Structure 1
Amino acid sequence: MKITTLIENLKNDSQDLINESGLSLYIELDNKRILFDTGKTGSFITNAQKLGIHLEHVDAVVLSHGHHDHGGGLLPFFKVNSKAKVYMKRKAAGDYYFHILGFNKNIGIDKKVFEEYSNRIAYIDRFTEIMNEIYIITDIEEQDLTPRGNKYLFAKEGNKRVQDKFEHELMMVIKQQDGICVFTGCSHKGTPNMIRAARTIFPSLDIKAVIGGFHLMTIPMLKSFSASQEEIQAIAQMIVDENIQKVYTGHCTGVKAYKNLKHILGSKIEYIRTGSQIYV
């Protein structure tokens, strides 16, 4: 399996690509082409063109949750791809906000996605195999810590703004002969909880890799880092306990948290940047 990072907060200086605060991964496996998230804008499409990736051939899109830095590129994507279904949880179409000290920002996905392209969307609200050996996990039990930064994230219920419970978040698992790979968008439900959810469904399979963000920047737009050592240690301990072979992370994990994890996990963990390619 080949995974290309089309959008991430950072990029390699050697490549003429666009970076933005968001995430988009392009996955090639057994003649299948999957897009996991679409970043904040259509910049991932420009990057794909520069990297020689033809997004018109994408077979399926998986949206990790209903925030604009993961689903903001859907409208531009629909203009270049006429066939791929977009798999998401039903509540990804909701209204979501970042709120702190009187500052309020809408971070939901453009409603045109749901109004103009409803025929392209497949809502998934239970464990589902969307393609051969490609699974969506929707139920993630919160047994361990969830990210501290969640306290600034809200949802709209009726006319009220309430704390976001992340009922719009899902994760993807790809099963191979030698184990499974777990894909997270931001891990708002907590990385250890997501790993445990995958382990519960696939108890006898090795976890080859975990790929995605861990939401350890409390205020991503300010690049603020305040994940506790307890959060860092809980993630690292789960990775060790489950004997996960490799971790590829970035985006909302943040560089500072990554360095802390790197200190504990060493060669088990790598940071993905816009344009990076990995094979698992």
Structure 2
Amino acid sequence: MKITTLIENLKNDSQDLIYESGLSLYIEQDNKRILFDTGKTGGFIANAKKLGIRLEDVDAVILSHGHHDHGGGLLPFFQINSKAKVYMKRKASGDYYFHIFGFNKNIGIDKKVFEEYSNRIAYIDRFTEIMNDIYIITDIEEHDLTPKGNKYLFAHEGNKRVQDQFEHELMMVIKEQDGISLFTGCSHKGTPNMIRAARTMFPSLTIKAVIGGFHLMTIPMLKAFSASQEEIQVLAQMIIDENIQKVYTGHCTGIKAYKKLKHILGSKIEYIRTGSQIDV
């Protein structure tokens, strides 16, 4: 399986690519072409062209959750790809906000996506195999800590602003002969909980890799603020206990938290940047 990071918060200095606070991964596996999230804008499309990737040929899109830094590129994607279904949870079409110190920002996905392209959307609200060996896990129970940064994230229910419970979040699992790989967007439900959910569904399979963001930047706009050592330790210990072979992370994990994880996990963990390519 080959994974290309089409967009992420940082980029490799050697490549002339767009980068932004968002995430989009392009995955090729057994003649299947999958897009996991679409970043904040259409920048991932320009990057794909420079990297020689034809997004017109993408077979399926998986949206990890209903925030604009993961689904903001859906409208421009629909304009270049006429066939791929977009798999998401039903509540991904909701209204979501970032609120801190009196500052309030809409971080939901453009409603045009749901109004103009409803025929391209497949809502998934239970464990589903969407393609051969490609699975969506929708039920993620909160046994372990969830990211402290969640306290700044809200949803609208009717006329009320309520704490976001992330019922719009899902994860993707790709199964191969030698094990499974887990894909997370932001892990708002907590990466240890997502690993546990995958283990519940696939109790006997090796977890080859975990790929995605872990939401360990407490306040995204202030990079100096990262998760507590307790959160870092719980996640690292889960990775060790589950004998996960490799971790590739970026986006909302943040460099500060990544360095703390790197100190514990060593070569088991790597940071992905815009343009990076990995084979799992």
Partner of 1:219: 219
| Contact 1:225 1:254 survives alignment (8 Å) | no
CA drift of 1:97 comes to 0.2
Q: Which moved more, 1:220-229 or 1:204-213?
A: 220-229
CA drift of 1:219 comes to: 1.3
Q: Does 1:152 align with 2:163?
A: no
Equivalent residue for 1:239?
A: 239
Question: In structure 2, how many angstroms separate the alpha carbons of the residues matched to 1:210 and 1:107?
Answer: 25
Cα distance in 2 between the residues matched to 1:231 and 1:117: 39
> In structure 2, what is the equivalent of residue 100 of structure 1?
100
SS of residue paired to 1:194: helix
Query: 2:94 is matched by which residue type in structure 1?
Result: G
Map 1:78-157; keep pairs closer than 5 Å.
Answer: 78-157=78-157
Match of 1:20 in 2: 20
In 1, distance between residues paired with 2:262 and 2:13?
21
Contact residue 8 and residue 274 of structure 1 kept, 8 A: yes
Q: Quick one: which amino acid aligns to residue 49 of structure 1? A: K
Contact 1:28/1:34 (8 A) holds in 2:
yes
- Amino acid in the other structure paired with 1:142: E
Separation in 1 of the partners of 2:275 and 2:58?
A: 18
- CA contact 2:226–2:256 (8 Å) conserved in 1: no
Please name the residue that 1:56 is paired with: 56
Query: By how many angstroms is 1:184 displaced?
Result: 0.2
Q: Distance in 2 between matches of 1:66 and 1:107?
A: 8
C-alpha deviation, 1:223, in angstroms: 2.2
Q: Deviations over 1:203-223 (max 9, x none)?
A: 000000000000000111232
The residue aligned with 1:183 is 183
C-alpha separation between the residues in 1 aligned to 2:226 and 2:5? 26
For 1:13, what is the secondary structure of its paired residue? coil
- 3-state DSSP of counterpart to 1:223: strand
- Whole-Å separation in 2 of the counterparts to 1:128 and 1:168: 15
Distance in 2 (alpha carbons) for counterparts of 1:225 and 1:274: 23
Report the secondary structure of 1:274's partner residue.
Answer: coil
- Tell me which stretches of 4 or more aligned residues in structure 1 moved more than 4 Å: none
The aligned length equals 280
Compute the TM-score of the two structures, normalised by the length of structure 2: 0.99
The two structures, once aligned, show a CA RMSD in angstroms of 0.5
Distance in 2 between residues matched to 1:147 and 1:94, nearest whole Å: 21
- Paired-residue identity, %: 90
TM-score where L is the length of structure 1: 0.99
Aligned-residue offset at 1:226:
3.0
**1:93 is aligned with what amino acid?**
S
| Aligned residues of 2:224 and 2:256 also touching (Cα < 8 A) | no
SS in 1 for 2:139: coil
Q: Who is 2:9 aligned against?
A: 9
Deviation per CA, 1:193-243, whole angstroms, max 9, x where unpaired? 000000000000000000000000011123242311000000000000000
Deviation at 1:101, TM superposition (A): 1.0
The 2-side partners of 1:109 and 1:257 are apart by 27
SS in 2 for 1:76: helix
Residues in 1 aligned to 2:32 and 2:224: alpha-carbon distance in whole angstroms: 38
For structure 1, list consecutive stretches of 5 or more residues without a partner in the other structure: none
Q: Deviations over 1:86-122 (max 9, x none)?
A: 0000000000000001100000000000000000000
